[in-house]
Amino acid sequence: MSFVEYGDTIKDGDTAIVFLGHESMFPVKVQHGTVTQTKYGVIRHSTDLIGKKYGSKVTCSKGGWVFILHPTPELWTMNLPHRTQILYSTDISIITMMLELKPGSIVCESGTGSGSLSHALIRTVAPTGHLYTVEFHQQRAEKAREEFREHGVEHLVTVTNQDVCKNGFGVSNVADAVFLDIPSPWEAIGHAKSALKAEGGRICSFSPCIEQVQRTCLAMEEYGFTEINTLEILLRVYNVRTISLQIPDLGKAAEDNSSTGFDSSSPSHQASPCANLQQGTVQFKSGVPLREVVGHTGYLTFATKS
């Protein structure tokens, strides 16, 4: 099993996603002799998972059932154990596009954190690219190495435990792109420039506060970066549902009554098709924004090495 290569069959040692519903899923490490508890009952790894195909419908001990999904960076982002605040797919997608990443790209990242963006970057640059990720916190760096090894992508990533603001990324003049998600990104702009290839390399900095963005932009200008721009991605989700609305009375029946001289109080008029139509309702699909929407996450500042 690998996060960048698909496998049909669940094997011992795999990381799989137990899917109970769109709002309820969680990762599990498949192991012989292990059981996993769900609200629908017990899942026995040896008999219910190992050897089955990914996407299978598995019946639990209480009679309920779940689906077992192959892991992807998107599913991992939704289910990973949080060691830090993470980036979600909305920001990850624009970062991948604006950094112009593709298979074979060399990317430097700091900090690694919970590895949400890291998995997406690895999948994008595979099979011939490489990710150099730097994490200041030793325990988080060790945990990231362990996860990359378990997920079958350790050959595509190098994890370094050091302070990127003081010691840089450990590589020079090779990176196609650099991503910064640290408290003071302006202190790492010089090291980012050194890590980038001779010209044309792209850099992105994620910061939650506009004051951080201002200092970072000034540092980028100082080090000769061009095409500096900052943007913010806000996601607005719509709920598609069926609604019923009353057909409006446009006065047509009243006009017909006056022109024909009919008595509006007569039973024949009250039962007319036109009157029934105007008193009815019509159903149709409508998109309605949710009452609560995801607000500000952070500012993304992009620039190009001149």
Percent pLDDT > 70 in the chain is: 91
The answer as to whether 254 is a domain residue is no
Shared-domain flag, residues 90 and 33: no
Instruction: State the pLDDT at residue 215.
Output: 98
The answer as to whether 29 is a domain residue is yes
Written as six digits, the tokens of 246 are 């009353």
Written as six digits, the tokens of 206 are 């994620």
Q: pTM here? A: 0.84
The answer as to whether 263 is a domain residue is no
Mean pLDDT of 207-218: 98
Q: Are 207 and 301 in contact (CB under 8 A)?
A: yes
With CA atoms as reference, report the closest residue to 95 among 119, 78, 114, 113: 119
Shared-domain flag, residues 142 and 20: no
Residue 216 has pLDDT above 60, yes or no: yes
Task: Please provide residue 193's backbone torsions phi and psi, each rounded to the nearest 5 degrees.
Answer: -65, -40
Instruction: State the pLDDT at residue 300.
Output: 98
Average per-residue pLDDT in the chain?
Answer: 90
Instruction: State the pLDDT at residue 279.
Output: 58
Shared-domain flag, residues 17 and 84: no
Residue 265 has pLDDT above 70, yes or no: no
> How many structural domains is the chain composed of?
2
Task: pLDDT band for 273, please (50, 70, 90 cuts).
Answer: very low
Shared-domain flag, residues 172 and 140: yes
pLDDT tens profile 79-100: 999 999 999 999 999 999 999 9
In terms of residue numbers, what domain contains 117? 75-230+298-305
Q: What is the 3-state secondary structure (H, E, C) of 209-267?
A: CHHHHHHHHHHHHHCCEEEEEEECCCCCCEEEEEEEEECCCCCHHHHHHHHHCCCCCCH
The answer as to whether 157 is a domain residue is yes
Residue 26 carries which DSSP code? E
The answer as to whether 289 is a domain residue is no
Q: How far is CA 218 from CA 54, 186, 208, 211, 232, in A?
A: 49, 8, 17, 11, 19
The domain that holds 44 is classified in CATH as 3.10.330.20
Shared-domain flag, residues 224 and 148: yes
Cα(185)–Cα(187) distance, integer angstroms: 5
Q: Per the annotation, where are the binding residues?
A: 114-117, 135, 163, 181
Q: Give the angle 195-228-301 at the CA atoms, nearest 5°.
A: 75
> Which of 56, 71, 86 is a domain's end point?
71
Q: Per the annotation, where are the binding residues for S-adenosyl-L-methionine?
A: 114-117, 135, 163, 181
More confident of the two residues 174 and 199: 174
Cα(224)–Cα(122) distance, integer angstroms: 28
Instruction: State the pLDDT at residue 95.
Output: 98
With CA atoms as reference, report the closest residue to 42 among 21, 25, 65, 26: 65
Instruction: State the pLDDT at residue 262.
Output: 47
